[in-house]
Structure 1
Amino acid sequence: MVVIDRQWYKYQAGEHYLIVIFSTMRYSPTLLITVTLSAALTLLRGGMAAPRNLTQEDFRQWTETIKKAGTNIGIQGMSVAVVYKGETIYSQAFGKKNSKDPFTIETVTNIASLTKAFTAAAVGELVAEGKADWETPVNEYVPEFKSKNPYLTADINLVDLLAHRAGYPMLDFHWFHRNESRPELIKQLRNVEPVAPIRTKWIYNNILYAVAGEASGRIEGKSWEEVVRDKILIPAGMSSSGFSTKTMLTRPNHALGFASKSFEASQRGENYQIPPDTSRLTDAPSGDMFSNVIDLAKWAKLMLRQGKLNGKQVLHKETVEAVTKSWMAVGHGSVTYGLGWMIDDYKGHRMVSHAGANPGFRSHLALFPNEDLALIMLSNKDINEIVSLLALYLADYILDLSKTEDWLFKYLVETDRRYYNNRTPTSLEAFFPPQIKNKPPTRRLEDFAGEYTHSYGPAISFTLKGKGAKASLAFKLTAYEGTLEHYHYDSFRLRLIHAGNTMTGLLSFVTGNNGSVQQLRFTTSDETMVYTKTARA
């Protein structure tokens, strides 16, 4: 019997029964009901079985099953590729890439956190070429990357960044929609207090991947994008792949992202388009590449064949070995993390995988190195687990494994429905203290107005709107503006809606010894940030 118990980590990451699916959206697990990292399977131990001899009838069955499962949960569009024994044996697309045009296997989508594996491999190539070393302190490559603790500054290396073992908190909220450059924001990390000793705890961190990407550029004397392009994309012939949503939108065959307001609406196919985010993304090395299943099949072949593609050594063998090696225990059963990859066992088979999610997009790539098998899925629909669960369905089918779950129907529906249920305002605000009714602010709203700053977070400002009983506080936080809702006493609810996802926090204004408002405590499900009032309205 399967027991489903999803623990909501950063709003949207979770633990599925014996499957661990970490969802950590590049934008912000705090800000956007996040998603993914990747899917790692634990404890599903089964007997080894001989792979099937696949035929066209099997492929026809896959197509019909995927089409039915996708329609059942309201997928907008998706593409699938299967690489087996060095060949792409199956590639198919379903649905639409926008509101009218068909999704094809050539359609490019944002691949989100699948980008991490490219960043790690690019760094690995520099190490293999003798230009860098895994254990050299990052500060030697990026001098502005420092900690308050000089011993930590001299200790954190590239593996610590890429294996999520540096002990830093997630920090995504602090970099969300900032206008500063990557080097400028890296300087601010010196004000961050680690939440765990180095190499003792796995803490998923998009921001430190940005530091690793910056380091690769400094080492090579280029940008991170140029390093990945020159070391991987061009040699592998991945001409459809590139960087940034803004660039992706210039490609003639690109997908647009979609979402639904509820699970029921999704099942009815009521999807709405999410406005593309074309802003500069400081943490791009963690999740801002785009690609299609054709190019990702080439990437998968490289990883399965120790860096070779069509007989040519594109990546150093040492690079592939380093990034797919277990560097840090995740803390969930046998799951470990490599460098940009989750590593685990699925029914007796070693699986190396990662998932990705950005607003409107989901992606998943699973490798079974010992079986020379890769499963690649891309989708332009927010909030769906079909890309991850399809990998399990196909692995069971191709490797002829015992069928422990109805992955694509019963389990998928239960998972997606639970996901939507956990993004309601009530669920998102579960960390709020009980509201005390009929307790107005202790002072005038104009006393709270002004600008508040944080040592490494974005400034937030408040202005008074209206008069008398209709007065309210308007806020501005990076690119977002809105109105606070009074909660009780001097605490207010803040809600940000981005790409169909909601971030909520509780703001509590603090009066100092001189009787004036001096601080703001900004509490999210992850942490409480203390802001200092630096300017009055």
Structure 2
Amino acid sequence: MAFAQDADIQKKLKGFDREMAKALKDWNMPGVGVGIVKDGKLVFVKGYGYRDYEKKLPITANTLFPIASNTKLFTATAVGFLVNEGKLDWDKPIKTYVPAIQFYNNELNNTITIRDMLAHRTGVTRHDLIWFKSTFTRNELFEKLKYLEPAQSLRQGFLYNNLMYAASGHIIEIIEGKTWESYLKERIFGPLKMNSTVFSIGDMKKQQDIFVPFNEKRDTDVLYQIPYLEETEGLGPAGSVISNINDLSHWLSALMNKGIFEGKQVIPEAVVKATMEPSIVLKNGLLDQGFTEVLNPVYGMGRQSVSYRGHQLVLHGGDLPGIHSQISYMPQDNVGVIVFVIGDHSFSYNSITYNIYEHLLGLSVTPWSERGIKNRDAGKKLGKEGRAKAMEGQVKNTKPSHELTDYMGDFENDAYGIINISQKDGQLFFTKYKIQLPMHHFHYDRFDTVNDEEVGFYSLNYQTNPQGEIDRFVVSMDEGEVTFAKKADAGLSTEETLKQYTGTYKIGTSKIEVVLKNKNHLFIAGSPDLELIPYKPHLFKTKEYADFTIEFILENGKVTAMKQKDGTGEYEIKKDDSGK
């Protein structure tokens, strides 16, 4: 059913409905929504399949979908307003304007600009499992930037990073003193009359005309409903906007008309141009496959630009579980396309977009679907065969080195937060944010979760400290291995608990001072001070020496000595209360 029609567009799209009907069948797609903007107006809207596959409800111009990473251009544009007003500069270190921001080292602190953050060229990789299904606030994610070690040098390559966009949105909040959401409503959504656009699944659910996510069950052709990804508030500026074809046509119209909408300059023209200017070259994966339709891909800020069969195409995709989107336009041809695709297994929104432009430009239709099916089928076959061999490499008849309870507890990483390992009825469970998966012993001190098609697979390789205790595990996450250290009971770090250990300890005529700083940090005074990290009741470690512990000795509830243990022996140092 077409919801907006233009005779010329309909003529140019002859045969497209047939192609989409075939693609829906070949790819087992639940639903696709398409909108076309020409000369500033929405001239075509059509739904293929359903917005709710189970209830067979149609896609309309007002169906709300998460636009995912198409949110990024809204954030880059909002930052552009601040640049235009002299509150930021694209190319000066962001720390000049926002002293609170901290990156991994001083080199990055002194050089990273807001353009670097918005162009994905900071050298820091994705680290998406920090935010995925987490309840971290935007400020908490902002504070985690300092733990993210670069994988490559600044401005030497494109490394997509959602956290840099979350941080960019928070920078708007710091400078303007209002939420990123409020700023977008005031400066963009309101003036563009994007009256249906919201920021959360909760608000989306208050409406009737909304999409429902369906995926294909792994190794089958069965479509099933999956949960909405609702934990997107902290990451908001990277991907939380929810909109429809009607509202997004206003956005496209302004972008295509130098920032002007209905005769008013909503977005400064300089900002529209700045976000489109190339900031970093992208790898051309299609060219590597021998396909030459797409050439010269570059990324600006919040969008990329390519040459598609000789026509400049500005575009960006968006991907969240069960829903995928693309918003694009051809500046010289004054036409834009909005595509929503339901289902992670579905036909690529890139391919649908390319085919639409081919129809509109009178070009021959490239067989993108057929090309994609070959890759899809090969990938399915490889995945099924690979998962069948998951237990190969297992060393048979091994046992854990410790009791099962020793593998339990809270394990923490500064960037990724806490993973809890618990037990119920002899079964270990892995809990990370809102992800909970059962675990099984693989071999030695390795435990694996089930391989869940929605939230993934985790293999935990436990390690012991020099004292022979399980104190951490290493797990592959995102782009590398991440270490989670066993977290001590928070009660061991209270001021009341730590205060009892302070005082003077004597070895002969030499004195050792144990002091408390900032209420909950205990140190042996020296040059430098040696911080004591609570580990167990009355037992402390240090960051510097894994084989070194300090145990405080109590008699009748009073500290009388501290005992130093290391590889050379055990040394008891009496507490000196003579000065009291």
Aligned to 1:507: 460
Is the contact between residue 229 and residue 320 of structure 2 (CA under 8 Å) also seen in structure 1? no
Letter of the aligned partner of 1:313 in structure 2?
Q
Count of aligned pairs between the two proteins: 472
Is it true that 1:458 corresponds to 2:412 in the alignment?
no
Shift of 1:514: 0.9
- Tell me whether 184-193 or 390-399 shows the greater mean CA deviation: 184-193
Task: Summarize the alignment of residues 14-413 of structure 1 with structure 2, pairs less than 5 Å apart.
Answer: 54=8, 56-59=10-13, 61-98=15-52, 99-100=54-55, 101-262=57-218, 264-265=220-221, 270-279=222-231, 281-332=233-284, 334-403=296-365, 405-408=366-369, 410-413=370-373
1:373-408 CA-partner distances (Å, limit 9, x unpaired): 2111113323323422111111222212344x3124
1:141-187 CA-partner distances (Å, limit 9, x unpaired): 44432024223212211111100011112111122233332112322
Structure 2 CA distance for partners of 1:428 and 1:90, relative to 1, 3 Å: farther
Structure 2 CA distance for partners of 1:190 and 1:258, relative to 1, 3 Å: same
Aligned to 2:483: 530
Is the contact between residue 511 and residue 517 of structure 1 (CA under 8 Å) also seen in structure 2? yes
Is it true that 1:477 corresponds to 2:438 in the alignment?
no
Letter of the aligned partner of 1:472 in structure 2?
Q
Letter of the aligned partner of 2:253 in structure 1?
K
Q: Which structure is higher in RCO with an 8 Å CA cutoff and minimum separation 6?
A: 1
Is the contact between residue 9 and residue 43 of structure 2 (CA under 8 Å) also seen in structure 1? no
Aligned to 2:401: 442
Aligned to 1:36: none
Distance 1:354 1:212 in 2: 18
Shift of 1:65: 2.7
Structure 2 CA distance for partners of 1:115 and 1:496, relative to 1, 3 Å: farther
Aligned to 2:523: none
Letter of the aligned partner of 2:427 in structure 1?
S
SS of equivalent to 2:485: strand
Distance 1:429 1:119 in 2: 44
- Tell me whether 357-366 or 394-403 shows the greater mean CA deviation: 394-403
TM-score by length of 1: 0.82
Structure 2 CA distance for partners of 1:425 and 1:521, relative to 1, 3 Å: farther
Q: CA RMSD in A?
A: 2.5
Is the contact between residue 471 and residue 485 of structure 2 (CA under 8 Å) also seen in structure 1? yes
Unmatched runs of 5 consecutive residues or more in structure 1: 1-52
1:282-340 CA-partner distances (Å, limit 9, x unpaired): 11111111111122222112122211223322211101101111101123373211101
Unmatched runs of 5 consecutive residues or more in structure 2: 1-6, 288-295, 490-535, 537-580
Distance 1:286 1:94 in 2: 28
Distance 1:180 1:287 in 2: 15
Structure 2 CA distance for partners of 1:415 and 1:226, relative to 1, 3 Å: farther
Distance 1:418 1:315 in 2: 45
Distance 2:194 2:123 in 1: 35
Letter of the aligned partner of 1:66 in structure 2?
M
Bigger Cα Rg: 2
Letter of the aligned partner of 1:477 in structure 2?
K
Is the contact between residue 453 and residue 460 of structure 1 (CA under 8 Å) also seen in structure 2? yes
1:406-448 CA-partner distances (Å, limit 9, x unpaired): 124x234334444545655936999x99333333323332221
Aligned to 1:30: none
Distance 1:229 1:336 in 2: 29
Structure 2 CA distance for partners of 1:275 and 1:222, relative to 1, 3 Å: same
SS of equivalent to 2:190: helix
Structure 2 CA distance for partners of 1:82 and 1:370, relative to 1, 3 Å: same
**What is the identity percentage for the equivalent residue pairs of Structure 1 and Structure 2?**
28
Distance 1:161 1:424 in 2: 38
Distance 2:213 2:385 in 1: 23
Aligned to 2:512: none
1:75-134 CA-partner distances (Å, limit 9, x unpaired): 222210112333333211122222222221211111111111111111112212223221
Structure 2 CA distance for partners of 1:337 and 1:433, relative to 1, 3 Å: farther
Distance 2:63 2:196 in 1: 9
Structure 2 CA distance for partners of 1:81 and 1:172, relative to 1, 3 Å: same
Is the contact between residue 292 and residue 378 of structure 1 (CA under 8 Å) also seen in structure 2? no
Structure 2 CA distance for partners of 1:368 and 1:428, relative to 1, 3 Å: farther
Q: 2:446 aligns with which of 466, 491, 501?
A: 491
Shift of 1:480: 1.9
Distance 1:429 1:364 in 2: 36
Structure 2 CA distance for partners of 1:157 and 1:191, relative to 1, 3 Å: same
TM-score by length of 2: 0.76
SS of equivalent to 2:166: helix
Is the contact between residue 121 and residue 158 of structure 2 (CA under 8 Å) also seen in structure 1? yes
Is the contact between residue 29 and residue 347 of structure 2 (CA under 8 Å) also seen in structure 1? no
SS of equivalent to 2:488: strand
Distance 2:488 2:121 in 1: 38
Shift of 1:207: 0.7
Structure 2 CA distance for partners of 1:526 and 1:424, relative to 1, 3 Å: farther
SS of equivalent to 2:115: helix
